[in-house]
Amino acid sequence: MQVTREGGSRSPAALARRAQIVQATIAVIAQEGYPQASFARIAEQAGLSSTRLISYHFTGKEGLVAAVVHEIVTAMGDQVGRQVRAQPDARGMLRAYVEGVVAYTAAHREDLVALLQILTGGGFPQEVQAATAVPGHVERILAEGQRTGQFRPFDVRVTAMAVQRAVEGVAFALHLDADLDVTGYGVELADLFERATRADAR
C-alpha cells in the first residue's frame, strides 16, 4: 500500500511534517472518533494552512490511516518485543507480553485509543491487519509453551485471541477510569492467563 507521494529519499523537513500529520491524526481520532478524522479537521489540529499539505504526503485517508497504524503498532511491537525476547521460557514470555502491552497502553493512551477507534470504525487497513494479526506473536508463544510442556493442551488460536482481546481492553478501561491501577491490572491478567495455560493447572 502506498502511503506517501514522496520518493524513497525524504528531507528532514518532510519527515518532520509527515510525523506532525500522523500525530495530529492520532489526536483527532482518539478524541473525536475515526469518522470525524477528515483532512480538514486534521489540518486544523496540526495547525496547517491547507489540506494540500496532507495530500502531498499521503494518497488519501486510507494511506494516512495506514501510516498511523504502522507507527503505533511498530512502536509498541518494538518495546514489548524486547521485553518478551528477554524471557527464558514461554511462561515468562506470555507474562511479559500481557504486562508489557498493558503498561505500554497506559503510557501511550491516546495512541492505543486511536488504534482501537480505527479498528472498530472499520478503517483498519487490510494489509496492516494481516501483518499484525494474532497468529503471529501470541500463537508462537503459546505453541512454544505446549511444545516444551509448560502449557497444557488447548486450542492455541482461541487462547491467543482471548489474550489479545484482554490486553486490548485496557485502553477502554483507562478511558473510563483514568486512575485505574494499571500495574495491578496487568498482573491480574497475566496471573489469569498463567493459571489458564500452565500444564499443572488445577
Q: What is the DSSP letter of 34?
A: G
- pLDDT number for residue 127: 53
| Mean pLDDT of all residues in 183-200 | 95
- pLDDT number for residue 44: 95
93-148 pLDDT, tens digit per residue, is: 999 999 999 999 999 989 988 988 888 776 666 655 554 554 578 999 999 999 99
**Which superfamily does 12-197 belong to?**
Tetracycline Repressor, domain 2 (1.10.357.10)
Length of the chain (residues) = 202
Most confident of 17-21, 130-134, 170-174: 17-21
What nine digits make up the cell of 133?
494479526
What residue has cell string 491524526?
25
- Domain range annotation of the chain: 12-197
Per the model's pLDDT, the better-predicted residue between 66 and 193 turns out to be: 193
What amino acid occupies position 145? Answer: G
As a whole-number percent, the residues of the chain with pLDDT over 90 amount to 59
77-99 pLDDT, tens digit per residue, is: 999 999 999 999 999 999 999 99
What amino acid occupies position 41? Answer: R
pTM, two decimal places: 0.80
The residues near 190 (Cβ < 8 Å, ≥ 6 apart) are 94, 95, 98, 99
- pLDDT number for residue 14: 86
Residue 118: CB atoms within 10 A of its CB come to 26
The residues near 65 (Cβ < 8 Å, ≥ 6 apart) are 25, 37, 118, 123, 124, 125
